[in-house]
Chain A
């Protein structure tokens, strides 16, 4: 999962302090793995260095949480590209996909495009495995089948999520 992109996606809805950003992330995407403060600030300083966010107002006082961060045009472009670039098909990537779908819905982009791009990438990987399986020996077949069943499970999740986009959109907006 790309935490930098997820933070950028959250900043698209408006500038936030580092602490707010961590809370928003944990609430939506961090269920069993909340972000560490250090991780938030090191990610933000990398985004700052790369021109994807900028400081938007510094409040007086001490402590690292004085700064507010806003996304830049370059940052918006970066999020948009990330959303429609499929994840490398591999087992257990639902958290990255879930994050992308939610951020697409939050920013008014097409979540269906996100899911479609992923489906294309998954099916491509499954075609390659199917071809390999047909040329290989029994051991190859078993290994390929294992991967194929898992990728198929991802695809079933993609299909189900596509069917639930309207509901999910309503929930994300509320």
Chain B
């Protein structure tokens, strides 16, 4: 692939004696949607955390746009996360004290955008994921599906290059899950963002361009399997 944006190579990470990653690696091209599939406990989330610079691997490298994450300082790394990456988790990512609008505006505010401009952009994004009506509600007052759409808006509001989504539909029923996937992948494609989509559900993975399978902390890409 010519325009590789993010590459993790030979990643190892243990928690106590259990190796969560045991030589895992994968690459993501600009604008590509890659599913990370595998059974529960296989190391998918740990792989995502390493690629996103949230967790430091014990060995191996992560290179984003030609820069190695482990060579950056903490400040530089969090600026990169804030500026270039977006995150959607299974749940619990919205700040409960803020309204949905303020939640979506938050990443822009943290990046220094003035309140008015940030909230205008947030409002536009809530419209794009079709939940304008929850703007003034708090996360505790909206449904699971609406909350995940707000999370998608919040992940995309900074126009990230990569969206990391960890079981984004894991807590939703089938219909809300479908809606969230359509919006997540649809808006990512419109804005040219790549998506690293961790899931154990094949119907969710079917929204991707290709898949990487994780088993016992190791990755297996089908095109290299034999």
Interface residues of A (CB under 8 A from B): 84, 113, 116-117, 119-120, 122-123, 126-127, 129-130, 134, 148-149, 151-152, 155-156, 159, 162-163
B205 interfacial by beta-carbon distance below 8 Å: yes
Task: Tell whether, in the assembled complex, residue B206 and residue A130 are in contact, meaning their CB atoms are under 8 Å apart.
Answer: yes
Q: Closest B residue to A126 by CB, please name it.
A: B206
What are 20 of the A-B contact pairs (CB < 8 Å)?
A: A84-B226, A113-B225, A116-B222, A117-B225, A119-B213, A123-B202, A123-B205, A123-B206, A123-B211, A126-B202, A126-B205, A126-B206, A127-B206, A129-B206, A130-B203, A130-B207, A152-B201, A152-B202, A155-B202, A162-B215
How many A-B contacts are there with CB distance less than 8 Å? Answer: 40
Q: Is the interface of A mostly helix, strand, loop or mixed?
A: helix
> If the complex has contacts A84-B226, A113-B225, A116-B222, are A163 and B203 also in contact, measured as CB distance less than 8 A?
no
Tell me which of B39, B208, B220 contacts A116 (CB under 8 A): B220
Q: B188 CB to closest chain A CB, in angstroms?
A: 14
Beyond A117-B225, A126-B206, A163-B39, list 9 extra A-B contacts (CB 8 Å).
Answer: A113-B226, A116-B213, A119-B222, A123-B202, A123-B206, A123-B211, A126-B202, A152-B203, A162-B215
Report how far A163 CA is from B40 CA in the complex, Å.
12
Tell me which of A120, A127, A134, A159 contacts B222 (CB under 8 A): A120
Contacts of B213 in A (CB 8 A): 116, 119
Q: Closest B residue to A148 by CB, please name it.
A: B203
Q: Closest A residue to B200 by CB, please name it.
A: A159
Q: B122 CB to closest chain A CB, in angstroms?
A: 26
Interface set, chain B 129-148, CB cutoff 8 A to A: none
Contacts of A148 in B (CB 8 A): 203, 206
Q: Closest B residue to A84 by CB, please name it.
A: B226
Contacts of A117 in B (CB 8 A): 225
Report how far A162 CA is from B39 CA in the complex, Å.
10
Report how far A155 CA is from B39 CA in the complex, Å.
12
Report how far A122 CA is from B37 CA in the complex, Å.
14
Report how far A129 CA is from B225 CA in the complex, Å.
24
Report how far A55 CA is from B182 CA in the complex, Å.
59
Q: Closest B residue to A163 by CB, please name it.
A: B39
Report how far A84 CA is from B225 CA in the complex, Å.
11
Q: Closest A residue to B226 by CB, please name it.
A: A113
Q: B63 CB to closest chain A CB, in angstroms?
A: 27
Q: Closest A residue to B181 by CB, please name it.
A: A130
In the complex, the 6 A-B pairs of residues with the closest C-beta atoms, listed nearest first: A126-B206, A130-B206, A155-B202, A120-B222, A152-B202, A127-B206
Contacts of B203 in A (CB 8 A): 126, 130, 148-149, 152
Q: Closest B residue to A158 by CB, please name it.
A: B202
